[in-house]
Structures are given as structure tokens and as C-alpha cells.
Amino acid sequence: MIFDVDFATILFQMAPSPEGFKRKIVFLDSVDSTSLYAASLRDADEGTVVLADEQKSGRGRLGRSWVSEKGKNLTFSLILKPGSPAEYSGLISLLAGLAVAETLETVAGLVPECKWPNDVLLKGKKVCGILTEATITGGRLSRAILGVGLNVNQARFPGAIQPPPTSLLNESGRSFDLTAVLTAVLTTVERRYSDFRDRKYETIIREWKKRSTTIGKTLNVRTGESEIQGFARGIAPDGALLLEVDGSERKIFAADITVV
Ligand code: BTN
């Protein structure tokens, strides 16, 4: 098991959500992917969290995999049911990255950076990846499975991955209580999600931009087979990246980016 306590104790230790979320935690010792499992819970309440000690086939963005050492890190998926207009769906990843960055500032005293659309970096290395899987019904975002992989106590990361991975342990020199970090992350995600539900889209974008490594930089942007270079002008109200290419502005909704 991931924690030194049993499941009931995890629930007991987890402070109630200040935003009124139910915080029902489904804890699994091992699963293929917490996001796949969460998607299978058809009638789950908003705020349900699927948390796993180990993922056998953790999923990353753009068909990649997410590998995390058993028992060392946080891998969980939060079920959200916003019902907001579908065009704002891209903001869910942004608010989650912002919330994780804010949490790492407070719990670890670190200086995280947000890389569009949804990575959190520490000194240029990736400490957290976020995968949002949206269900659109009748023009509304009826459900979003927010998958978060946060490297906490893992020391070694084999393989050549870009950007190179890191953990809170590696960047701060100390290990962290996973329950405490999970509680802090959930509290901050719930707070930023409340901003989203209150349509404070500009607040989310403004706070995200303060921590951005992306805006104001020249980027290589890879979408599928094609790669373009452009200057990152800003973030659109829907969370898309505004890229200036040869004097005209393009909206990028999903891509892999690297700073030139
Ligand atoms: C990325 O950076 O490519 C996104 C990685 C997202 C990983 C998390 S771990 C918990 C949840 N379950 C998954 O299978 N993926 C996400």
C-alpha cells in the first residue's frame, strides 16, 4: 500500500473540502490507469478521486505513457462535472497545472513553472503531468477526468525523457507525506475549479501566466506530423495558445511545445 495507514485513516486524515466537494477516495493498490478506472465509474459524484499505488499502463498526453515508481508518487484522477460551455474545456488543464504549481510553492517552498498546456516544471524538469479527458454533451462539458501524475518521493528516473523528469524529493532534498501532499493538491484544485465554475476564466489565465515558461518565448510547436515555429503571444480566453507565425496569429489547441 502506498501509505503507512489504512484506507479509513486516509479518509479520516483528509480534511473536509473547503469548497464543499465530497472527496470520496477510491484507493486501488494496482490498476491499469486511474483515469480509465474513473471513466468506468458512470454514476460517480463530482469530486470522486481514484488514487492508485501503482499504474500498470499509466496514460500520458498524445498517446504517451506515464511511468511512476510504485508507492513513491501521487497518481490520481479527479472526476469533474462542470456542465460549462464546451469551448472553455481547455481551461481545465490550465487550472489544474496552476493549482499544482501553487501547492508546490506552499508545501515545498519551491518555484514551479507552468508549461502550456499542462506540465509543471521545477528548474526546467517535469515534476507533474496532467491529462484531461473531456466528455462533451450537447455543447457542454458534461464530464472531465482530470488525471494527475505528481512525482513526490521518487529519486531515480531511468530513460531519456524530454523534458527530463524530477520529483519534490530531488528538488528539495527531503521526502514528503503523500497524504498531506494529496490533501493540499485537492484543496487547491478545488479552489481553482470553483473559480472556473464562477466563470473567473481571466483570473485563472492571469495566475497561470505569472508562472508560465511559455508566453513571450519563441517555440517549436508540433501538432501531429507537422512542426511550426512561432512566438507565444498569450493564452486565449478558452485556454488555447496564441502563436504568432509569419505575422499572423494562430490558435493552438493541442500540441507538444519546446522553447527554441
Ligand atoms: C502527461 O504529461 O503526458 C500527462 C500524464 C498524466 C499522468 C496521470 S497519472 C494519473 C492519471 N492516470 C493516467 O493513466 N494518467 C494520469
Distance 48 CA to ligand 1 centre (A): 17
pLDDT at residue 204 tops 60? yes
Distance 247 CA to ligand 1 centre (A): 35
Query: Which residue's C-alpha comes closest to atom 15 of ligand 1?
Result: 59
35 close to ligand 1 (CB < 6 Angstrom): yes
Alpha-carbon distance values, 96 to 150, 158, 159, 202, 217 (Å) = 12, 26, 27, 15, 22
* Range 179-190 average pLDDT: 95
pLDDT at residue 6 tops 60? no
Mean pLDDT computed over every residue of the chain: 92
For 82-136, give the secondary structure using H, E and C.
Answer: CCEEHHHCCHHHHHHHHHHHHHHHHHHCCCCEEECCCEEEECCEEEEEEEEEEEE
Whether the CB-CB separation of 22 and 48 falls below 8 Å is answered with yes
Asked which of 88-102, 121-135, 194-208, 216-230 is least confident by mean pLDDT, the reply is: 216-230
Closest CA to 82 of 142, 135, 134, 42: 142
All cell numbers assigned to 18: 473547503
Pocket test residue of 35, 36, 93, 120 for ligand 1, highest count of atoms within 8 A of CB: 35
Per-residue confidence (pLDDT) for residue 13, from 0 to 100: 52
Residue 41 confidence class, pLDDT cut points 50, 70, 90: very high
251 close to ligand 1 (CB < 6 Angstrom): no
Residue 5 confidence class, pLDDT cut points 50, 70, 90: very low
pLDDT at residue 225 tops 90? no
Distance 174 CA to ligand 1 centre (A): 24
Alpha-carbon distance 14 to 22, whole Å? 11
Helices (H), the chain: 7-13, 34-40, 91-108, 168-172, 178-197, 201-210
Residue 8 confidence class, pLDDT cut points 50, 70, 90: very low
Per-residue confidence (pLDDT) for residue 176, from 0 to 100: 98
Per-residue confidence (pLDDT) for residue 182, from 0 to 100: 95
Distance 63 CA to ligand 1 centre (A): 10
Per-residue confidence (pLDDT) for residue 108, from 0 to 100: 96
121 close to ligand 1 (CB < 6 Angstrom): no
Per-residue confidence (pLDDT) for residue 248, from 0 to 100: 96
Distance 209 CA to ligand 1 centre (A): 23
Query: Which residue's C-alpha comes closest to atom 3 of ligand 1?
Result: 60
Instruction: Return the higher-pLDDT residue of 162 and 218.
Output: 218
Distance 37 CA to ligand 1 centre (A): 12
Percent of the chain with pLDDT over 90: 83
pLDDT at residue 229 tops 90? yes
pLDDT at residue 132 tops 90? yes
Query: Quick one: which atom of ligand 1 is closest to the CA of 34?
Result: 12
Distance 250 CA to ligand 1 centre (A): 27
66 close to ligand 1 (CB < 6 Angstrom): yes
What would the pLDDT profile of 236-258 be if each residue is shown by its tens digit?
999 999 999 999 999 999 899 99
Percent of the chain with pLDDT over 70: 94
